[in-house]
Amino acid sequence: MPIVYEYLGIIIRFYSNEHEPIHIHADYDGATVKISLFVKNEVVYRVSYKKEKGTFNNAKLVDLKHFVSVNKNALLFAWKQYFELNVRTKPIIITKKIN
């Protein structure tokens, strides 16, 4: 299960046996949220969030949604690198809030 990002303690990863539609998983303190990226013409036009396990702390969920909003195209790129081009990268760790 490759970790793509760690943002303020939130682990953002793919599962190695993923499938379309494009989605990622975010884990924090025992809770998991599935984030689906809807893409048209190589651009993410919509993002949806679905609780998978536990309940995300509200402040952390706000942090996660902001992070995904700012980095949705980078997440799409990471998906394509991993699943289409078989490129493995190290996780990017971010310890300060992004604007």
- Whether residue 17 has pLDDT greater than 80: no
- Count Cβ neighbours within 10 Å for each residue of 46-78 and write b for 16 or more, e otherwise: eeeeeeeeeebeeebbebbbebbeebbeebbeb
Higher pLDDT, 89 or 94: 94
The answer to whether residue 20 scores a pLDDT higher than 70 is no
For residue 16, is pLDDT > 70?
Answer: no
Tell whether the model's pLDDT for residue 84 goes beyond 90. Answer: no
Q: What is the pLDDT of residues 21-73, one digit of tens each?
A: 788 999 999 999 999 999 998 888 999 999 989 989 899 999 999 999 999 99
Sketch the domain layout of the chain as residue ranges: 3-94
- pTM for the whole structure: 0.86
- Inter-residue contact 82 to 2 (CB < 8 Å): yes
**pLDDT band for position 18 (50/70/90)?**
low
